[in-house]
């Protein structure tokens, strides 16, 4: 009989296998779409990816704070990443996902995103000039061979950003 493993164990195993073959720069990153923007996050920071569960709204919070999600008995503070960036609210549909980004950093935080775009290899992307007014958590920018622009998300910096932490309206 096959051994059952959790999604978290599978993702950790996948991240280890992908990260073990070369330099950190060559490691694959998780691609996701938030609003009209494409983002890249380290697999180790993305923690776990789950389908959108029911969200419990929290009163007197910023419009980008989507509420609380119960994922297997653990509460996560959910931020609508597109709305946080100043864009449209993320539609809540079958493609929407929660990236549980804070577990590695001791925080139960999740980002609501439009959809996952799969794994990307940084070496297959071309560095692009970064916007001068980008926040510290918005890292390097790239373009792919189709001309799509990507930006790397520094999850650790996002989780300590004052604006991100200030959910009260």
Domain boundaries, the chain: 27-122+155-165
Q: How far is CA 80 from the centre of its chain?
A: 10
Res 124: pLDDT: 87
CATH topology classification for 27-122+155-165 = OB fold (Dihydrolipoamide Acetyltransferase, E2P) (2.40.50)
| 29-73 per-position pLDDT tens digit | 999 999 999 999 998 887 789 999 999 999 999 999 999 999 999
Residues forming a β-bridge with 61: 168
CA distances, 68 to each of 2, 17, 102, 130, 161 (Å): 35, 32, 14, 33, 19
* Higher local confidence (pLDDT), 10 or 120: 120
Could you give the count of Cα atoms lying within 13 Å of 160 in the half-sphere of its Cβ? 6
């Amino acid at each position: 009989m096959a051994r059952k493993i959790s999604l978290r164990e599978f993702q950790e195993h996948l991240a280890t296998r992908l990260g073990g073959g070369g330099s950190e720069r060559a490691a694959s990153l998780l691609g996701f779409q938030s609003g009209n923007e494409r983002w890249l996050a380290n697999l180790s920071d993305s923690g776990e990816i789950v389908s959108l569960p029911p969200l419990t709204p929290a009163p007197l919070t910023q419009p980008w704070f989507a509420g609380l999600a119960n994922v297997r008995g653990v509460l996560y503070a959910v931020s609508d990443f597109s709305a946080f960036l100043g864009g449209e609210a993320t539609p809540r549909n079958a493609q929407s996902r929660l990236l549980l980004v804070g577990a590695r950093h001791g925080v139960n935080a999740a980002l609501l995103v439009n959809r996952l775009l799969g794994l990307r290899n940084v070496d297959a992307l071309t560095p692009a000039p970064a916007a001068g007014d980008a926040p510290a958590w918005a890292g390097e920018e790239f373009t792919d061979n189709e001309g799509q622009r990507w930006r790397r998300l520094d999850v650790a910096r996002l989780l300590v950003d004052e604006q991100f932490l200030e959910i009260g309206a």
